[in-house]
């Protein structure tokens, strides 16, 4: 590829004659302008990252509470049980014993918080905001103020979701999917307040979160289209940027139908309409006074139209992070860059036409099922291409096992397990048995928890030096990594067994009351497996402490490093650490692809994208082209 | 460092930033209204044959509103073109007309059309009591003609207290012409022009009624989707009016003096949004008023 194929840039050409050049110096901004309502993409990225990590740990804590109830159903939670009961109000944990309603709230909010307030803000918004403009050589996002508004909408959405724990009746209880008609009639007791109740606040919170993601997605796509540096052609974009590009499209197009569904459910709850309420519904022995004529299946379609692309929103940024780290630490070009890019695009496209495989049990009919089974089978192809390319990239590399690489390598088999165990669920017939069991829980958690979350950790350790100028401790990183890896597997592997035994995912008593739960696998019954799982979950909670300490300690005290501590090739490592407002001292020029490691004829084993072509490079590229290597 | 391509186009993409942004935003809006319209299709297909209401909305008023919106889409293009030709005075007038069109549209909806519906009442008769109210429903006549049966008696509710007071046992309705004269062949099809309720009173016992309500969103799946979609569309019209007003106020004048191209770009972006809002109405009008 030729460097001259880029654009002719003259960024100051549109300077107006009467000028506001005085606005260039941003040094004397007060604290709140610089860190609270900043328009700088890096600050917004860090805001998203820290809020997201807090929500991630909060969502995980909800699950740690539920794990007590599952392992020791009906028993009072020692030490903190009473305090939590007081905090969350009378209906939550009287005498430290969890009520079924509170258990349902925890389950629904665990899912909601982990996905929409934890993973998406970190993997997409935080990393995307911080890294994408740097990697494409842009001074900022195209619309900095909209970027700020995006974070603020996210923040309000998060606050609304948290508030819902403290209204009468507690937070939403309808599962993270909020299936109707249950979700519409939830909390509608005699003391029903149309606004201050868990489910309504869940819906209101969602409107803010969807607005936030819309503003973010528009910004990301426009930035990648418009602000690539000179010479940064599409096929020279780091794979991470491609992954974020596709993710942004998924958010842009898949979220609005859910927003329409949320508006309709809000109408159902507040204005008494019947969008999702069928005729003739009887609750507690009384016919509901509603017009009826709605369709519960409509909610499921609209929800999963977002819900399935959302899965790829969760995983694609993770894949992007892992790609960067693998290329960097194997010291060789990423294998099959073009295949990766096209696989990501195909994945994004196909993710829009597989949603109904979440709905096999609704009786959609065999024709619809056949269509969605076929598309679901097809979508596994690009996923396998991406994972295979990562594995092949490892082949023959002299791998540096630093902490980011440990997490990135662990991502591969974990995501592999998650992906492969999804195949039985893709088939109508097998899913009839496995639907809504712990098997499903294990399957998607393998993708998101040791998959995406490990990729997120890898990314944090990897880009931390860029954000702070300091490196996180390798030793404490390993203390974080190994227990997390082991616990993840102790938590989720037995769930496959539980699911195949037939244990339902929403049981409040952990399956204790189910007669068939007595069947033993490896010496423990389905119910008894809950205990080791729960212990592993709490241990994993403890294993995050080294990370939290390492994170904050390293901001001030970590080992100081230069601008490119990992000897990486992409543009973000040419900027100072931390990059100033505007990122680059001079607009960078790009001369080559993103993963030019171990280029023959070069002294260093990495050649940055901004390094001009030399005669020896040209020979090396010609030799590679002659040998059929891309 | 300034962010490039805020006003001038990037050579290889041929676009300035906000234009990329607005098209992406509109793509997302298509999906938003797409979700709502598919809900409409879903609900309508699920409804009992013949139960989907027709002719409840005022077609001439809807037609007038359609014309107003289309006219405003033309004037906003004229406003943009005036800016491109650096004729600020013309821009100012065209923009004013656009804003007024938006305001009139909203006023017609909020002051006339919606309240007229809120004031209307309908009671759905239980399936096994239809015979009892045959004189209001005319189902024998409809069956002869092979048309779907009527289940609703509608009009103006005389005893409004019946809505809330449990001791009131019946609804007194000043009937719509269709119920006042159900066997008249003129009533077989919905009216094109709005016809007000008659002064013929029907008395309907509450215990014969499946479900009754004013023409609010909760009245039926039809009104639920009508109010939700037109409400969201109205919110978009309001948003457009606010943005246009901002660009028309002295803020816009100042920007014009500093960088006329920048103001033209902003009007272009807002205009694209306005065309989209117009386009949504082009779907709303036939779906709810005509079909």
Residue A98 placed within a domain: no
Provide the shortest C-alpha distance from residue B22 to chain A (in Å).
8
Residue B282 placed within a domain: yes
Sign for the pseudo-dihedral over CA of A549, A554, A556, A559: positive
* The pairing of beta strand B209-214 with beta strand B121-125: antiparallel
Residue B242 placed within a domain: yes
The domain tally of chain A equals 1
Residue A530 placed within a domain: yes
CB proximity B6 to A under 8 Å: yes
Cβ–Cβ < 8 Å for A348, A250: yes
Q: Give B62's contacts (C-beta < 8 A, 6+ positions apart).
A: B113, B285, B289
Whether omega before A169 lies within 30 degrees of 0, making that bond cis, reads no
**Residue A295 exposure: Cα atoms within 13 Å on the Cβ side:** 21
Residue A545 placed within a domain: yes
CA distances from A264 to A160, A270, B17, B225 (A): 19, 10, 33, 9
Residue A314 placed within a domain: no
Same domain flag for B74 and B112: yes
DSSP E strands in A459-613: the ranges are: 470-471, 520-521, 524-525, 559-560
The domain tally of chain B equals 2
Place of tokens 């070009």: A333
Cβ–Cβ < 8 Å for B170, B206: yes
Task: Identify which of A214, A173, A228 has the alpha carbon closest to the alpha carbon of residue B28.
Answer: A214
Residue B219 placed within a domain: no
Domain span at residue B149? 121-214
Residue A320 placed within a domain: no
Q: Which two tokens stand for residue A267?
A: 């109408």
Same domain flag for B59 and B29: yes
Rg (CA), chain A: 25
Cβ–Cβ < 8 Å for B150, B182: yes
Provide the shortest C-alpha distance from residue B36 to chain A (in Å).
6
CB proximity B245 to A under 8 Å: no
CB proximity A259 to B under 8 Å: yes
Residue A41 placed within a domain: no
Task: Identify which of B276, B121, B232, B120 has the alpha carbon closest to the alpha carbon of residue A264.
Answer: B232
Q: Tell me the C-alpha distance between A386 and A336, whole Å.
A: 9
The closest CB to that of A9, out of B4, B220, B232, belongs to: B4
Same domain flag for B80 and B202: no
pTM over 0.90, yes/no: yes
pLDDT in tens, A387-431: 999 999 999 888 999 999 999 999 999 999 999 999 999 999 999
Indicate the range of A10-19, A31-40, A331-340, B36-45 predicted with least confidence.
A10-19
> Among the three residues B180, B214, B248, which one is the final residue of a domain in this structure?
B214
Same domain flag for B198 and B234: no
Confidence category of residue A7, pLDDT binned at 50, 70, 90:
very low
Confidence category of residue A36, pLDDT binned at 50, 70, 90:
confident
Q: Which two tokens stand for residue B99?
A: 């804003």
> Among the three residues B214, B239, B254, which one is the final residue of a domain in this structure?
B214
Which of A26, A256, A305 is the best mutation test for B, with the most CBs of B within 10 A? A256
pLDDT in tens, A206-231: 999 999 999 999 999 999 999 999 99
Same domain flag for B24 and B102: yes
* Residues β-bridged to residue A484: none
pLDDT in tens, A252-295: 999 999 999 999 999 999 999 999 999 889 998 888 889 989 99
Angle between helices B17-46 and B260-284 (to 10 degrees): 10
Same domain flag for B147 and B77: no
Cβ–Cβ < 8 Å for A143, A216: no
Residue A226 to residue B47, Cβ atoms within 8 A: no
Same domain flag for B198 and B259: no
Residue A548 placed within a domain: yes
Place of tokens 């139960």: B51
Assign 3-class secondary structure to A268-318.
HHHCCCCCCCCCCCEECCEECCCCCCCCHHHHHHHHHHHHHHHHHHHHHHH
Q: Give me the mean pLDDT over the A70-93 stretch.
A: 92
Residue B3 placed within a domain: no
Cβ–Cβ < 8 Å for A76, A96: yes
Task: Identify which of B106, B38, B94, B61 has the alpha carbon closest to the alpha carbon of residue B289.
Answer: B61
Q: What angle do CA A170, A173, A176 make, to 5 degrees?
A: 125
Same domain flag for B193 and B252: no
Largest CA distance in chain A: 84
Same domain flag for B81 and B129: no
Counting every residue written for chain B, the total comes to 291
pLDDT in tens, B123-177: 999 989 999 999 999 999 999 998 888 999 999 998 989 988 889 999 999 999 9
Residue A264 to residue B213, Cβ atoms within 8 A: no
Confidence category of residue A23, pLDDT binned at 50, 70, 90:
very low
Provide the shortest C-alpha distance from residue B71 to chain A (in Å).
28
Partners of residue A12 in chain B, C-beta under 8 Å: 2
Percent of chain A at pLDDT above 90? 80
Task: Identify which of A125, A57, A136, A442 has the alpha carbon closest to the alpha carbon of residue A314.
Answer: A125
Helix (H, G, I), strand (E, B) or coil at A174: coil
Provide the shortest C-alpha distance from residue A224 to chain B (in Å).
11
Q: Tell me the C-alpha distance between A255 and A226, whole Å.
A: 24
* The pairing of beta strand B121-125 with beta strand B152-157: antiparallel
Domain span at residue A535? 401-468+470-501+514-560
Same domain flag for B164 and B85: no
The answer, yes or no, to whether residue A3 has pLDDT greater than 50, is no
Residue B102 placed within a domain: yes
Task: Identify which of A111, A91, A112, A113 has the alpha carbon closest to the alpha carbon of residue A102.
Answer: A91
pLDDT in tens, A354-382: 999 999 998 888 899 999 999 999 999 99
Q: Give B147's contacts (C-beta < 8 A, 6+ positions apart).
A: B50, B188
* The pairing of beta strand A520-521 with beta strand B152-157: unpaired
Residue B205 placed within a domain: yes
> Among the three residues B214, B244, B259, which one is the final residue of a domain in this structure?
B214
Residue B5 placed within a domain: no
Q: Tell me the C-alpha distance between A433 and A439, whole Å.
A: 10
Q: Tell me the C-alpha distance between B233 and A559, whole Å.
A: 56
Q: Tell me the C-alpha distance between B91 and B84, whole Å.
A: 9
Same domain flag for B268 and B253: yes
| pLDDT for res A10 | 38
Which ipTM did the prediction report?
0.95
Q: What is the CATH number of the domain that holds B99?
A: 1.20.120.80
Same domain flag for B47 and B77: yes
Q: Give me the mean pLDDT over the B244-266 stretch.
A: 95
Residue A431 placed within a domain: yes
The answer, yes or no, to whether residue A464 has pLDDT greater than 90, is yes
Residue B37 placed within a domain: yes
């Amino acid at each position: 590829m030729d460097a001259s194929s880029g654009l002719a840039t003259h960024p100051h050409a549109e300077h107006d004659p009467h000028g506001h050049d005085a606005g260039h110096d941003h040094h004397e901004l007060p604290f709140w302008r610089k860190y609270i309502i900043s328009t700088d993409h890096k600050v917004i990225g860090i805001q998203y990252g820290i809020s997201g990590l807090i929500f991630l740990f909060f969502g995980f804590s909800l699950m740690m509470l539920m794990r007590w109830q599952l392992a020791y159903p009906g028993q009072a939670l020692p030490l903190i049980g009473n305090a939590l009961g007081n905090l969350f109000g009378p209906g939550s944990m009287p005498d430290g014993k969890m009520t079924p309603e509170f258990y349902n709230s925890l389950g629904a909010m665990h899912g909601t918080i982990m996905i929409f307030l934890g993973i998406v803000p970190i993997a997409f918004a935080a990393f995307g905001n911080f890294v994408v403009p740097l990697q494409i050589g842009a001074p900022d996002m195209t619309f900095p103020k909209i970027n700020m508004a995006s974070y603020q909408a996210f923040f309000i959405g998060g606050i609304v979701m948290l508030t819902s724990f403290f209204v009468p009746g507690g937070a939403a209880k309808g599962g993270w999917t909020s299936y109707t008609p249950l979700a519409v009639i939830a909390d509608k007791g005699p003391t029903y307040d149309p606004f201050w109740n868990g489910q309504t606040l869940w819906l209101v919170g969602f409107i803010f979160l969807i607005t936030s993601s819309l503003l973010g997605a528009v910004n990301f796509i426009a930035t990648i289209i418009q602000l690539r540096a000179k010479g940064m052609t599409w096929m020279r974009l780091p794979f991470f940027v491609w992954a974020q590009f596709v993710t942004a499209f998924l958010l842009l197009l898949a979220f609005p139908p859910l927003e329409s569904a949320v508006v309709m459910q809000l109408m159902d709850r507040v204005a008494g309409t019947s969008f999702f309420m069928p005729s003739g519904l009887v609750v507690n022995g009384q016919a509901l006074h509603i017009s009826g004529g709605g369709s519960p299946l409509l909610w499921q379609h609209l929800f999963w139209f977002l819900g399935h692309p959302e899965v790829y929103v969760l995983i694609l940024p993770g894949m992007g992070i892992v790609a960067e780290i693998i290329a960097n630490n194997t010291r060789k070009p990423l294998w099959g860059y073009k295949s990766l890019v096209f696989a990501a695009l195909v994945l994004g496209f196909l993710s829009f036409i597989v949603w109904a495989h979440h709905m096999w049990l609704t009786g959609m009919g065999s024709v619809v099922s056949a269509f969605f089974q076929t598309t679901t089978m097809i979508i596994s192809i690009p996923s396998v291409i991406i994972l295979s390319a990562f594995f092949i990239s490892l082949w023959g590399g002299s791998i540096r096992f630093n902490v980011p690489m440990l997490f990135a390598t662990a991502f591969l088999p974990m995501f592999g397990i998650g992906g492969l165990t999804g195949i039985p669920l893709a088939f109508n017939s097998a899913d009839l048995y496995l639907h809504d069991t712990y098997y499903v829980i294990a399957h998607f958690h393998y993708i998101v928890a040791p998959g995406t979350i490990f990729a997120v950790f890898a990314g944090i350790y990897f880009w931390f030096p860029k954000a702070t100028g300091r490196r996180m401790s390798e030793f404490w990183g390993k203390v974080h990594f190994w227990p997390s890896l082991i616990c993840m597997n102790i938590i989720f592997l037995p769930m496959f067994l539980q699911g195949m035994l037939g244990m339902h995912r929403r049981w409040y008593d952990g399956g204790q009351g189910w007669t068939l739960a007595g069947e033993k696998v490896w010496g423990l019954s389905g119910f008894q497996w809950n205990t080791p799982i729960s212990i592993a979950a709490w241990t994993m909670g403890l294993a995050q402490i080294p990370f939290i300490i390492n994170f904050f300690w390293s901001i001030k005290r970590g080992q100081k490093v230069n601008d490119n501590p990992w000897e990486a090739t992409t543009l973000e490592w040419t900027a100072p650490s931390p990059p100033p407002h505007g990122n680059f001292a001079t607009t960078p020029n790009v001369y080559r692809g993103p993963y030019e490691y171990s280029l023959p004829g070069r002294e260093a084993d990495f050649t940055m994208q901004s390094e001009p072509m030399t005669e020896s490079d040209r020979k090396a590229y010609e030799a590679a082209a002659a040998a059929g290597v891309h | 460092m300034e962010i490039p391509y805020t006003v001038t186009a990037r050579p290889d993409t041929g676009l300035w930033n906000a234009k990329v942004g607005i098209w992406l935003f509109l793509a997302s809006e298509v999906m938003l209204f797409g979700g709502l319209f598919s809900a409409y299709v879903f609900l309508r297909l699920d409804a009992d044959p013949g139960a989907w209401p027709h002719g409840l909305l005022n077609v001439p008023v809807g037609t007038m509103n359609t014309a107003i919106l289309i006219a405003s889409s033309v004037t906003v293009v004229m406003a943009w073109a005036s800016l491109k030709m650096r004729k600020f005075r013309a821009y100012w007038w065209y923009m004013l007309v656009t804003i007024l069109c938006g305001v009139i549209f909203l006023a017609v909806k909020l002051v006339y059309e919606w309240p007229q519906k809120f004031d209307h009442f309908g009671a759905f008769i239980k399936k096994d009591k239809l015979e009892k109210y045959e004189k209001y429903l005319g189902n024998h006549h409809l069956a002869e003609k092979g048309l779907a049966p009527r289940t609703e008696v509608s009009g103006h509710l005389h005893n409004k207290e019946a809505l809330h007071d449990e001791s009131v046992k019946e609804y007194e309705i000043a009937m719509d012409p269709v119920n006042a004269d159900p066997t008249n062949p003129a009533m077989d099809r919905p009216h094109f022009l709005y016809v007000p309720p008659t002064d013929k009173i029907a008395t309907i016992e509450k215990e014969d009624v499946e479900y009754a309500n004013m023409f609010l969103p909760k009245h039926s799946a039809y009104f639920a989707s009508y109010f939700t979609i037109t409400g969201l569309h109205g919110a978009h019209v309001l948003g457009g009016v606010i943005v246009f007003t901002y660009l028309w106020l002295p803020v816009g004048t100042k920007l014009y003096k500093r960088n006329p191209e920048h103001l033209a770009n902003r009007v272009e972006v807002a205009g694209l949004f306005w065309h989209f809002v117009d386009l949504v109405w082009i779907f709303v009008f036939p779906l709810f008023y005509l079909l």
